[in-house]
Amino acid sequence: MTRTALLLLALALPSAAQSRPRLWRYDAPGIHACGRFTTTMKPDRDGFYRILRITGRRNGVAIRALAKTGRPIPGNAPYAIDNRVRPAAPQLTKAGFGFRLADRTWANPFFLKDNDLEYLSVPPYKPGAGPEDKVHFLATPNPSPGLTCDAKSSDLPAAPLAANPSP
């Protein structure tokens, strides 16, 4: 890779000073998803933070990638995701965020009509064929570097994501 390419890559990636880790989870009967995401430091004009990276698990299956902003997850066209979260309820947008799992399924948690929902897309990704379940979503500041997806629900703080949490 050339020096110019490396420089451009370094400029495109947010630094630790430009991003903040967050803890997130959502649950429903038969569904448990939990992990960390890194967001921008500053919210947009609507109070939402852009999700830049994601890690975690859904029902024990590892999350492999954050879906691309502005595109739908496979099997959920035309519903493009925006990868945004905010401190105030509702914490998710109508578009929500998306991620790919190690088993090739895709998940899209989002907010619609006073509910947090998850659309799950499974191969062969037939549009609209995946289940859409009501879930309880919560994102918080990262309270402890050692907290993992295996944490019990009671281990998560009840307070929502803080707009300017202390480092």
On whether the CB atoms of residues 73 and 121 are closer than 8 A, the answer is yes
In a domain, 159, yes or no: no
Q: Is the pLDDT of residue 43 over 60?
A: yes
Q: Does residue 158 have a pLDDT over 80? A: no
User: Is position 8 within any domain?
Assistant: no
Residue 21 sits at the vertex; the CA angle it makes with 45 and 87, to the nearest 5 degrees, is 40
pTM exceeding the 0.75 threshold for the entire prediction = yes
Q: Provide the domain limits for residue 79.
A: 17-143
Counting the structural domains of the chain, the total is 1
pLDDT at 70: 98
* Average confidence (pLDDT) over 56-67: 97
pLDDT band at 27 (very low <50, low <70, confident <90, very high): very high
Q: Is 2 within the bounds of a domain?
A: no
**Is pLDDT of 13 > 50?**
no
Residue 7 lies in a domain: no
16 backbone dihedrals φ, ψ, rounded to 5° = -60, -30
Q: Is residue 83 part of a domain?
A: yes
Q: Is the pLDDT of residue 12 over 80?
A: no
Tokens found for residue 101: 């799992």
Over its C-alpha atoms, the chain yields an Rg (Å, rounded) of 16
- Residue 161 inside a domain? The answer is no
Q: Give the model confidence (pLDDT) of 98-150 as tens digits.
A: 999 999 999 999 999 999 999 999 999 999 899 999 999 999 876 655 555 65
**70 within some domain:** yes
Compute the half-sphere exposure of residue 122: CA atoms within 13 Å on the CB side of its CA. Answer: 5
94 lies in some domain: yes
Mean pLDDT value of segment 15-22: 64
